[in-house]
Amino acid sequence: MKDSAIPSTITGEIGSHMKELCDMDISHSTISRITDKILPIVKEWQERPFEEVYAVVFMDAIRYHVRSGGRIVKRAVYIAPGIDMSGKKGVLGMYVGENESARFWPSIMNGLRNRGVEDTLTACADGPAGFPQAEIRHCTIHQIRNATKSVSYKDIRKLMADLKHVYAAPTEEAALNELEPFRDKWDAKYPKIHKSWHGNRPTLSTCFKYPEAVRRLIYTTNAIEGFNRQFRKVTKSRTVFPIDDSLLKMLYLATMDITKKWTGHRQDWGQIHSRLEIYFEERLADRKL
């Protein structure tokens, strides 16, 4: 199947560069053929080796529609940004698979282990991270979305204002104290929210055991949300992709554009690293990091 999935924003940019460099116009179809050369590069990128230990790995999936067998089906793009023990950000994996499934993540984690990852100290995920020792931090953004998806439009603003007192609390005790009045006020209309929040409390509260510097590292979902925003910006003119590889190529190009701005490590990494060495002393004892 012909790949026409590269959007006008990307083909236009490539065309502009060629016009500037070579004083020649290149058609959309020619640019698409050129981008076919990207697939081997993507495959090589997906198999590159990694560091042994990561301080945190974020796991998420964003959904798209792709044509398959004469039908339009849902696909999930699984993405796993991480921060290594030197404080550098990187994307450990990006794969197109079935619509988001807990069964897909273990295969990705096995792939990361085969490429050198032996441990991740913490993980921001909605399920098992694939590394038994990883301390799981349940994604707050996903928790909010899942818990409030059935809230009516006229209630959502007030409910979210009350819920913010829970997820933005400075300590676990304060969060629990805020959860009870939330339940008293909203349980009659939306009983599932308190039940969900209370049920996921152990993994939502993981960050409270750490000092502020480490908490910021594992609490934030900016790494994921930033990617999703950029991906949606690139794909907004494409509602259905002709094949999986078309989707993969476009998002690979977007990923390269996003990550080229990532230079050096976090400014507060010295403080974070020293705290990680204390809290994960046994797991880091035999490693030179």
- Kindly give the confidence (pLDDT) of every residue in the chain, 289 residues in length, as a single tens digit, with 9 standing for 90 and above: 445 444 454 455 444 444 544 455 656 666 666 666 788 898 899 999 999 999 999 888 888 999 888 899 989 888 888 999 999 888 998 888 876 566 777 788 888 999 999 999 988 877 666 787 888 888 787 788 888 888 999 999 999 999 999 988 888 889 899 999 999 999 999 999 999 988 888 888 887 878 777 887 776 666 677 778 888 888 887 788 888 888 888 888 888 888 887 777 777 898 889 989 888 888 888 675 5
Residues 6+ apart with CB under 8 A from 27: none
Contacts of 189-198 spanning 24+ positions with Cβ under 8 A: 189/155, 190/148, 190/150, 190/151, 190/155, 190/159, 192/147, 192/150, 193/147, 193/148, 193/151, 193/159, 193/163, 196/143, 196/146, 196/147, 197/143, 197/147, 197/166
List % helix, strand, coil for the chain (3-state, nearest 5): 55, 20, 30
Confidence (pLDDT) at 20: 46
Please name the fold of domain 50-137+221-289: Nucleotidyltransferase; domain 5 (3.30.420)
Write the DSSP string, 146-200: HHHTT--HHHHHHHHHHHHHHHT-SSHHHHHHHHHHHHHHHTTT-HHHHHHHHHT
Q: Residue 114 to residues 117, 144, 150, 261: CA-CA distances in angstroms?
A: 7, 34, 41, 28
Distance CA 230, CA 227 (A): 5
Confidence (pLDDT) at 35: 64
Q: Residue 149 to residues 142, 178, 225: CA-CA distances in angstroms?
A: 10, 21, 18
Distance CA 94, CA 259 (A): 13
Which H or E run contains 90? Answer: strand 89-98
Confidence (pLDDT) at 142: 78
- Would you call 132 helix, strand, or coil by DSSP? coil
Q: Say if CB 275 and CB 210 are below 8 A apart.
A: yes
Q: Say if CB 244 and CB 66 are below 8 A apart.
A: yes
What's the Rg (C-alpha) of the chain? 21
Q: Say if CB 226 and CB 258 are below 8 A apart.
A: yes
So where are the chain's domains? 8-36, 50-137+221-289, 140-219
Q: Say if CB 179 and CB 163 are below 8 A apart.
A: no
Residues 6+ apart with CB under 8 A from 209: 279
CB atoms within 10 A of CB 33: 13
Tokens of 160: 């979210």
Tokens of 63: 């959904």
Distance CA 4, CA 243 (A): 10
Write the DSSP string, 21-66: HHS----HHHHHHHHTTHHHHHHHHHT----SEEEEEE-EEEEEEE
Closest CA to 257 of 238, 240, 241, 233: 233
Q: What is the pTM of this model?
A: 0.77
